[in-house]
């Protein structure tokens, strides 16, 4: 169960969708002065080097954030040519790239912020961050990456599915929770559903963002409907596929984000951003996107 290292995939197309939406959710949570908690059930290492280590071996970021980086106002290195487009970069993507630029002040794309680092960059003094990770190597790197943070951040070596039960409801009664296991173990789909269902019973008004891979697996295909059937009063479901599924059934050709209790502004931001992202990251004619929402 400890074979998965997110560093291999840092900054790929799935990270682009997940993290661009996460930034928008964090921005929304900060609209009110009242404190909120950010909870990350599978925090990983927190931040990643792109020029060495795991990420440099596969360079998946070249077909993800690497394609978008030239659109950033902060980019200085343009060896990777962005797709030509007459459409202005959507606001959701501009904010996402700005957060990456904060980690790369010289304009060179050398580091990529994972979800904990993105949240930490946007955290206010009154907010709190709870990070869970079970991988014995990742948890050490995560702790080292946040060694200089203050009392706002608490890092725990724990199974995020189980740990979520212990922090819901949060003391602030406001929270954004990201649940994004690797799903290499197909039981992660059922574990995610059970964890979200339990959290909703404990804290019905929380915002829950669930990432999942779009792969040639029955569990993946059934997952969105199962999330809808949990009975949330409002939800949003966004997907981005960058290629036709491979004939052998292997590989990650897309991903989805299912948000329970989404902010009302998110749907409009995604209506603008998803077609732009699909064009920018497409690898073949099979690239597509979708957006569904039920927000009474």
What is the model's pLDDT at position 83? 47
What is the model's pLDDT at position 9? 79
Please state which of the ranges 39-43, 63-67, 290-294 shows the lowest mean pLDDT. Answer: 63-67
CATH code at 261?
Answer: 3.40.50.150
Count of CA atoms in the C-beta half-sphere (13 A) of 10: 28
In a domain, 259, yes or no: yes
Domain total of the chain:
1
What is the model's pLDDT at position 86? 53
180 is catalytic: yes
What is the model's pLDDT at position 79? 42
The predicted model gives 2-28 an average pLDDT of 85
In a domain, 163, yes or no: yes
What is the model's pLDDT at position 80? 42
More confident residue, 156 or 73: 156
Tell me the DSSP string of the chain: -----GGGGTTSHHHHHHHHHHHHHHHHHTTSSS--EEEETT-TTSEEESSSHHHHHH-GGGGTHHHHGGGSTT-----SPPPP-SSPPPHHHHHHHHHHHTT-TTS---EEE-HHHHHHHH--TT-EEEEEE--TTHHHHHHHHTTT--TTEEEEES-HHHHGGGT-S-TTS-EEEEE-----STHHHHHHHHHHHHHHHH-TTSEEEEEEEE-S-HHHHHHHHHHHTT--SSEEEEEEE-SPPPTTS-S--EEEEEEES--TTHHHHHHHHHHHHHHHH--STT-EEEEEEE--
Write the pLDDT tens digit of every residue in 226-247: 999 999 999 999 999 999 988 7
What's the predicted TM-score (pTM) here?
Answer: 0.93
Write the pLDDT tens digit of every residue in 239-275: 999 999 887 767 789 999 999 999 999 999 999 999 9
With 70 as the cut, is the pLDDT of residue 219 above it?
Answer: yes
Winning range, highest mean pLDDT, from 53-62, 81-90, 124-133:
124-133
Specify which residues 156 forms β-bridges with.
132
In a domain, 1, yes or no: no
What is the model's pLDDT at position 145? 86
**Helices 138-145 and 115-122, packing angle to 10 deg:** 20
What is the model's pLDDT at position 73? 72
Of 40, 180, 248, 279, catalytic: 180
With 60 as the cut, is the pLDDT of residue 3 above it?
Answer: no
Q: How does the average pLDDT of the chain come out, rounded? A: 90
Residue range(s) defining the domain that contains residue 213: 6-294
How many CB atoms are closer than 10 A to CB 2? Answer: 9
In a domain, 102, yes or no: yes
Q: Are 198 and 165 in contact (CB under 8 A)?
A: yes
Confidence of residue 287 (pLDDT cuts 50, 70, 90): very high
The predicted model gives 131-149 an average pLDDT of 87
In a domain, 63, yes or no: yes
3 state SS for 159-212: CHHHHHHHCCCCCCCCEEEEECCCCCCCHHHHHHHHHHHHHHHHCCCCEEEEEE
Confidence of residue 53 (pLDDT cuts 50, 70, 90): low
Confidence of residue 52 (pLDDT cuts 50, 70, 90): low
Confidence of residue 205 (pLDDT cuts 50, 70, 90): very high
Write the pLDDT tens digit of every residue in 58-81: 668 788 999 999 877 777 544 444
């Amino acid at each position: 169960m400890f074979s998965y290292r997110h560093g291999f995939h840092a900054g790929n197309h799935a990270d682009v969708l997940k993290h661009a939406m996460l930034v928008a959710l964090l921005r929304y949570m900060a609209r009110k002065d009242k404190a909120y908690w950010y909870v990350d059930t599978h925090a990983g290492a927190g931040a990643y080097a792109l020029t060495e280590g795991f990420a440099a071996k596969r360079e998946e970021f070249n077909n993800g954030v690497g394609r978008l980086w030239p659109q950033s106002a902060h980019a200085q290195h343009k060896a990777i040519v962005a797709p030509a487009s007459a459409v202005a970069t959507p606001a959701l993507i501009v904010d996402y790239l700005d957060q990456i630029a904060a980690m790369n002040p010289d304009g060179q794309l050398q580091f990529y912020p994972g979800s904990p680092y993105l949240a930490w960059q946007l955290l206010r003094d009154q907010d709190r961050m709870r990070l869970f990770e079970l991988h014995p190597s990742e948890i050490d790197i995560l702790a080292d990456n946040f060694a200089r943070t203050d009392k706002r951040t608490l890092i725990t070596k724990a199974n995020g599915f189980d740990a979520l039960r212990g922090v819901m409801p949060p003391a602030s009664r406001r929270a954004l929770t990201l649940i994004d296991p690797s799903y290499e173990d197909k039981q992660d789909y059922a574990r995610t559903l059970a964890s979200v269902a339990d959290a909703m019973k404990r804290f019905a008004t929380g915002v829950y963002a669930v990432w999942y891979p779009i792969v040639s697996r029955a569990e993946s295909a059934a997952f969105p409907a199962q999330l809808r059937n949990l009975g949330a009063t409002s939800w949003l479901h966004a997907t981005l596929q960058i290629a036709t599924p491979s004939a052998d059934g292997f590989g990650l050709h897309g991903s989805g984000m299912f948000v329970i209790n989404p902010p009302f502004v998110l749907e409009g931001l995604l209506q603008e951003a998803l077609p732009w992202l699909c064009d920018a990251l497409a690898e073949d004619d099979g690239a597509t996107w979708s957006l569904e929402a039920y927000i009474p």
